[in-house]
């Protein structure tokens, strides 16, 4: 069976690690990017030289622009052919309590983190018809802390959307989600930031990227699994033991 995947926001960080993992697992991979064109191109060059018998490419789309999102899957299919895996990884992560959240911030968070995945899932189902969708959410969906109000709401919505799509798209398409916790520090922070955050979670250490990658592998290998959420978060969703 052909194995071709698109990962949104895959030029750097967690998305890039997912792309590299899938390439190791003999997938053809399309790296989606918006601003990070150079890292996306460098990743494609690296993957092509490491796995010469597979196909790799990149595609640009601003996921806050509805017109560009609507064209992403059609353009992808006409350029690379049908594919069997969509990973909705791209995300905007901006702080703001409810009282501080402007309509602009709200729209940007919801457009990139929820509306774009909705359109991509719909178009994947209509144009590709079978395979897997994996949505990257966040352990914050298990809480009501509003410090990242619009972000948290977008990820809560994405999890609800995952279940809805799992029901509608079965049995041809499985839809599952992964909820990372303390994984990778924001680009402007150092590792101490994560170590400090991790003191408050049951497993007492940052998870890094590996639990997310292992969750991807687990979902792909289990062909009876759909509508499920894997918390790859060191137990953070369980709350505090005090």
- Return the number of the residue (31 or 128) whose C-beta is nearest ligand NAP: 31
Smallest gap from Cβ 177 to ligand NAP, in A, equals: 10
Residue nearest to ligand NAP (CB): 9
**Token pair belonging to 121:** 């899932």
Residue 34 or 132: the one with the smaller Cβ distance to ligand NAP is 34
- Quick note: the x/- pattern for ligand NAP over 57-86, rule CB under 6 A, is -----xxx----------------------
Structural contact between residues 212 and 183, judged by C-beta atoms closer than 8 angstroms? yes
- Asked if residue 134 lies in contact with residue 178, where contact means CB atoms within 8 angstroms, the answer is yes
Q: How far apart are CA 156 and CA 227, in angstroms?
A: 14
Q: Identify residues 83-102 at the interface with ligand NAP (CB under 6 A).
A: 89-93
Q: With respect to ligand NAP, which residue has the nearer C-beta, 128 or 232?
A: 232
x/- track of binding to ligand NAP for residues 24-63 (CB under 6 A): ---------xxxx-------------------------xx
Please name the residues in contact with 152: beta carbons below 8 A apart, sequence gap of 6 or more: 138, 140, 141, 143, 145, 146
Q: Order of strands, edge to edge, in the sheet holding 56-60?
A: 56-60, 28-33, 4-7, 85-88, 131-136, 173-180, 229-232
Give the SS3 label for residue 237.
helix
Decide: is 13 part of the binding site for ligand NAP (CB under 6 A): yes
Q: Which residue has the tokens 């509805």?
A: 66
Cβ atoms of residues 128 and 78 within 8 Å = no
Q: How far is the CB of 171 from ligand NAP (least distance, A)?
A: 27
CB of 153 to ligand NAP, least distance (A): 13
Q: Phi then psi for 10, rounded to 5 degrees? A: -105, 10
Phi and psi at 28, nearest 5°, equal -80, 140
How many CB atoms are located within 10 Å of the residue 18 CB? Answer: 26
C-alpha 90/C-alpha 155 separation (Å) is 12
Specify the residue, 166 or 213, whose C-beta has the smaller distance to ligand NAP: 213
162 counts as binding ligand NAP under rule CB under 6 A: no
Among 14, 110, 121, 175, binds ligand NAP (CB under 6 A): 14
* 129 vs 147 by CB, closer to ligand NAP: 147
DSSP 8-state secondary structure symbol assigned to residue 111: I
Q: What is the per-residue binding string for ligand NAP in 205-234, x denoting contact by CB under 6 A? A: ------------------------------
Q: Does 117 bind ligand NAP (CB under 6 A)?
A: no
Count interface residues toward ligand NAP (CB under 6 A). 24
Three-state DSSP state, 126: helix
Whether the Cβ atoms of residue 32 and residue 114 lie closer than 8 Å to each other = no
Q: Which of 136, 141, 149, 150 binds ligand NAP (CB under 6 A)?
A: 136
| Interacting residues toward ligand NAP by CB under 6 A | 9, 11-15, 33-36, 62-64, 89-93, 112, 136, 138, 180, 183-184
């Amino acid at each position: 069976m052909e194995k071709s995947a698109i990962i949104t926001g895959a030029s750097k960080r967690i998305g890039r690690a997912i792309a590299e993992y899938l390439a190791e697992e003999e997938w053809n991979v399309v790296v989606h990017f918006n601003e990070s064109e150079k890292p996306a191109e460098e990743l494609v060059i690296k993957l092509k030289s490491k796995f010469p018998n597979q196909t790799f490419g990149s595609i640009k789309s601003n996921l806050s622009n509805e017109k560009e999102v609507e064209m992403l899957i059609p353009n992808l299919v006409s350029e690379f052919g049908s594919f069997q895996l969509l990973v909705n990884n791209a995300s905007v992560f901006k702080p703001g309590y409810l009282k501080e959240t402007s309509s602009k911030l709200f729209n940007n968070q919801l457009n990139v983190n929820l509306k774009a995945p909705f359109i991509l899932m719909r178009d994947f189902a209509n144009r590709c018809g079978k395979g897997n969708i994996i949505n990257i959410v966040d352990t914050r969906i298990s809480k009501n802390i509003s410090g990242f109000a619009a972000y948290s709401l977008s990820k809560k919505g994405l999890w609800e959307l995952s279940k809805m799509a799992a029901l509608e798209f079965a049995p041809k398409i499985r839809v599952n989600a992964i909820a990372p916790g303390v994984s990778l520090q924001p680009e402007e922070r150092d590792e101490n930031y994560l170590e400090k955050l991790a003191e408050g979670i049951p497993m007492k250490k940052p998870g890094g990227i590996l639990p997310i990658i292992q969750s991807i592998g687990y979902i792909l290998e289990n062909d009876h699994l759909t509508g499920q959420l894997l918390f790859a978060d060191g137990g953070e969703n369980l709350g505090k033991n005090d």
